[in-house]
Amino acid sequence: MEKQLNIPELLELSDEEIAKKVELKELALQRQKAEIKEQNSHIEQLINDDLNHKAKEESFLNSNKVTLLQEQSKKVFIDFLNEKGIKFLALKDGSVKLNAKSSKEFAKQLKAEVSVKRTLTNEESSLLFKIHKQGDLKISFRSQNSDDMETLYLYLNHIIISMIVGLVHRDKKTYSVVKHHSYKGGYAIVFRLNFEQLRVKSMLRTIVVDDNLQFIKEVDYFEFISSCAVSHTKSNVNLQEIENKMLTEVIKSKEKHEALEWTSQNRLIDIKIDSMKSYFKKQINKAKRLEKQVKEKGIVRMRAGEIENWKAKEVNKITELMNQKKMVSDFEILGVVGIEK
């Protein structure tokens, strides 16, 4: 407040005039604080609104994919129980119930199997210990499925499922043979694409090729896996060699999707930049109009400083948005499958 007042000028005023001037300064400062708070709120809204809309619009998992993931999680879990001879009760709601004895046996068997290959993490040991001491346990594969009995919700990348299928091992790749409703013969390579720009986005893709490794089609992983069936045929081809030969197709796919993502995200950024420029222009013009309407030197200086602050904010925000145009991307091969003829 002291910085806003002209002390020599005050010495020439009466007590009443000084009180009035101080009151005006206080009101001006309060108004400025309120304006800054509102302005920052507008800026954050401009930055976040379209991202939130886009995130909702492009939800990675639709209901069909969620159902498929739930079915896969359940299959992995029940296959392990059957393989180890662990008794369980399948409930009408799709969940599974283990009695106290079965819970202990499950924890014991899973711990033993993983321990043969590696040391369990603290998180894994803690969870298995809890299951061992749990008593009766209900396993659900749907997040909304819950009741009075303590329920363990298992999803595809849950630590328990990961331990069962070996996804926490160093080599996360899967090599196998499947039957497929749409393809007879050939191979499919499954991979994940990761993009990081305005936000992190991942997608699972599958490239299908014929026996001569000629490209047939690229499809969403969930679309491909939904038409797969278990095959007991063993491949007489080295699928790891097939993977190496198909890397070129995977890289092409990455470059294609990266270009699409880059274009889509940068279009959003450009819209945000235009909106931001328009917003700052409006605020600067408003401050200039207010500057012209006042005669008090202190308030004039305050408005001039406000204009400069707006200009500095505009430069910072536009620079921040321009930096967001940089994209980082990578890919990971998850597995190769031979398709039964």
CA 31 – CA 310 distance, rounded (Å): 16
Per-residue model confidence as pLDDT tens digits over 149-182: 577 887 766 778 877 876 444 445 777 888 888 9
Cross-strand partners of 194: 202, 330
CA 85 – CA 83 distance, rounded (Å): 6
Question: Do 4 and 25 touch, CB atoms closer than 8 A?
Answer: yes
DSSP letters, 153-217, are E--TTSHHHHHHHTTTSS---EEEEEEESS--SSEEEEEEEEEESSSEEEEEEEEEE-TT--EEE
Mean pLDDT of 186-207: 86
pLDDT above 80 (res 244) = yes
CA 261 – CA 202 distance, rounded (Å): 11
CA 117 – CA 334 distance, rounded (Å): 20
Cα–Cα distances in angstroms (integers) from residue 260 to residues 86, 100, 254, 274, 339, in the given order: 48, 52, 10, 21, 30
Question: Do 259 and 325 touch, CB atoms closer than 8 A?
Answer: no
DSSP H or E stretch at residue 14: none
pLDDT band at residue 306 using 50, 70 and 90 as cut-offs: confident
CA 145 – CA 94 distance, rounded (Å): 9
pLDDT above 70 (res 116) = yes
Question: pTM higher than 0.75 for the full model?
Answer: no
Asked which of 58-62, 204-208, 249-253, 323-327 is least confident by mean pLDDT, the reply is: 58-62
Buried b (16+ CB within 10 A) or exposed e, 219-249: bebbebbeebeebeeebeeebeebbeebeeb
Angle at 204 between CA 202 and CA 209, to 5 degrees: 145
pLDDT above 50 (res 51) = no
CA 49 – CA 21 distance, rounded (Å): 42
Side chain identity, residue 34 = A
CA 17 – CA 15 distance, rounded (Å): 6
Asked which of 55-59, 123-127, 229-233 is least confident by mean pLDDT, the reply is: 55-59
pLDDT band at residue 217 using 50, 70 and 90 as cut-offs: very high
